[in-house]
Amino acid sequence: MSYEMTLTALADPTRRHLLERLRDGPLAVSALARDLPISRPAVSQHLKVLSDAGLLLVEPAGTRRLYRLAPEGLDDLRAWLDRLWGDALDSFAARAHDIAREIARKETPQ
Amino acid sequence: MSYEMTLTALADPTRRHLLERLRDGPLAVSALARDLPISRPAVSQHLKVLSDAGLLLVEPAGTRRLYRLAPEGLDDLRAWLDRLWGDALDSFAARAHDIAREIARKETPQ
DNA sequence: TCATTTCGTAAGACATGACTTACCGTAAGT
DNA sequence: ACTTACGGTAAGTCATGTCTTACGAAATGA
């Protein structure tokens, strides 16, 4: 949902591995846990974090639960990144040296 | 540098706050620490993480060190996000229900 | 030269989060 | 009804990371 939760979810290597495996289509929990060095409950916990962050969707299929990437899962994060690294950044980069010299002469900021 | 380090750096609320403050231009360490509820050394440690991840550039100015956003700091992360949430995702989203029904009938995967 | 300011690093305390095993509920097959 | 397979949750352990204080190095000004 929020970009904060998205970043928290993406910060873990195991969770990134899960996302990359789901890149090729939906998978059940046991299938995801099969080639990981951790227990199945641990995978379930990671899947919960990813789902709560809006990155995954679940679809029950019999006794199994199929997880897949949520198409709009990255929207909030992308919006935040775009806002942070916006156009103003480029102009500042161009003026960086001038600004630094001003500051060195104590004209700006603390 | 790597998108892994970028994600680790962006996962912390304090570091995100630092980035947002630097959105408006370069600042020194003490200035950044002034309106944060943590000590100045803690800020220095966060700035090191951000710099190591390629998100910040440093420019010495007298006894001070001016930190600013690195214009290309998000490039690797953006590339990884684009690859993960690629076009194939949409087609899978469209076929999700069909796939789920196949799986429920045990035709696909574990 | 001496004092002051700014900042990085080291060492240790503490909180957070990623694991484990144990357990329970649900769906499907016999 | 009984068994098996699948998966979520709880409780506790352990590692990782985020703080703190203490200290030292470098630049500035008197």
Looking at the fold, whether B60 and B10 belong to one and the same domain comes out as yes
Asked whether residue B79 is assigned to any structural domain, the reply reads yes
Looking at the fold, whether A41 and A82 belong to one and the same domain comes out as no
Looking at the fold, whether B79 and B65 belong to one and the same domain comes out as no
Q: CA B103 to CA B97: how far, in whole Å?
A: 10
Per the CB < 8 A criterion, the answer to whether B96 and A58 are in contact is no
Asked whether residue B110 is assigned to any structural domain, the reply reads no
Looking at the fold, whether A57 and A80 belong to one and the same domain comes out as no
* Backbone phi, psi, residue B64, to 5°: -100, 160
Question: What's the CA–C1' distance between A16 and C20, in Å?
Answer: 21
* Backbone phi, psi, residue B105, to 5°: -90, 10
Distance set, CA A19 to CA A40, B10, B89 (Å): 16, 18, 12
Per-residue pLDDT of chain B (110 residues; tens, 9 = 90+): 799 999 999 999 999 999 999 999 999 999 999 999 999 999 999 999 999 999 999 999 999 999 999 999 999 999 999 999 986 666 555 454 444 444 444 434 44
Kindly list the residues from chain A whose CB atom is less than 8 angstroms away from the CB atom of residue B22. none
Residue B48: what pLDDT?
A: 98
Asked whether residue B98 is assigned to any structural domain, the reply reads yes
DSSP for residue B105: T
Q: Is the CB of A104 under 7 A from strand C?
A: no
Per the CB < 8 A criterion, the answer to whether B68 and B18 are in contact is no
DSSP for residue A89: H
Asked whether residue B88 is assigned to any structural domain, the reply reads yes
From B69, which residue of chain A is nearest by alpha-carbon distance? A89
**Do A89 and B23 lie within an 8 Å CB cutoff?**
yes
Q: Which domain holds residue A89?
A: 75-104
Which of A29, A36, A68, A85 has the highest number of chain B CBs within 10 A, making it the mutation to test binding with B?
A: A85
Looking at the fold, whether B42 and B82 belong to one and the same domain comes out as no
Strand partners, B28: B66
Asked whether residue B93 is assigned to any structural domain, the reply reads yes
Residue A92: what pLDDT?
A: 56
Q: Considering its fold, how many domains does chain B have in total?
A: 2
Looking at the fold, whether A59 and A88 belong to one and the same domain comes out as no
Per the CB < 8 A criterion, the answer to whether B77 and B70 are in contact is no
Looking at the fold, whether A14 and A59 belong to one and the same domain comes out as yes
Asked whether residue B109 is assigned to any structural domain, the reply reads no
Q: CA A35 to CA A42: how far, in whole Å?
A: 13
Looking at the fold, whether A16 and A54 belong to one and the same domain comes out as yes
Which of B89, B97, B105 has the highest number of chain A CBs within 10 A, making it the mutation to test binding with A?
A: B89
Per the CB < 8 A criterion, the answer to whether A51 and A9 are in contact is no
| Number of other residues whose CB lies within 10 A of the CB of residue A49 | 17
Question: What's the CA–C1' distance between B43 and D20, in Å?
Answer: 12
Per the CB < 8 A criterion, the answer to whether A27 and A33 are in contact is no
Residue B65: what pLDDT?
A: 97
Looking at the fold, whether A9 and A57 belong to one and the same domain comes out as yes
Residue nearest to nucleotide C7 (CA to C1'): B64
Looking at the fold, whether A54 and A99 belong to one and the same domain comes out as no
Per the CB < 8 A criterion, the answer to whether A20 and A26 are in contact is no
Looking at the fold, whether B23 and B64 belong to one and the same domain comes out as yes
Residue B1: what pLDDT?
A: 74
Asked whether residue A109 is assigned to any structural domain, the reply reads no
**Looking at the partner chain, which of A68, A85, A92 has a beta carbon nearest the beta carbon of B25?**
A92
**Do B10 and A13 lie within an 8 Å CB cutoff?**
no
Tell me which residues from 77 to 106 on chain B have a beta carbon below 7 angstroms from nucleic acid strand D.
Answer: none
Kindly report the CATH number assigned to the domain that includes residue B60. 1.10.10.10
Q: Is the CB of A109 under 7 A from strand C?
A: no
Strands A56-61 and A64-69 come out as antiparallel
Sorted by sequence, the CB contacts under 8 Å of residue B37 that are 6+ apart come out as none
Asked whether residue A110 is assigned to any structural domain, the reply reads no
Looking at the fold, whether B42 and B96 belong to one and the same domain comes out as no
Segment among A44-58, A95-109, B31-45, B89-103 with least mean pLDDT:
A95-109
Share of chain A above pLDDT 90, in %: 75
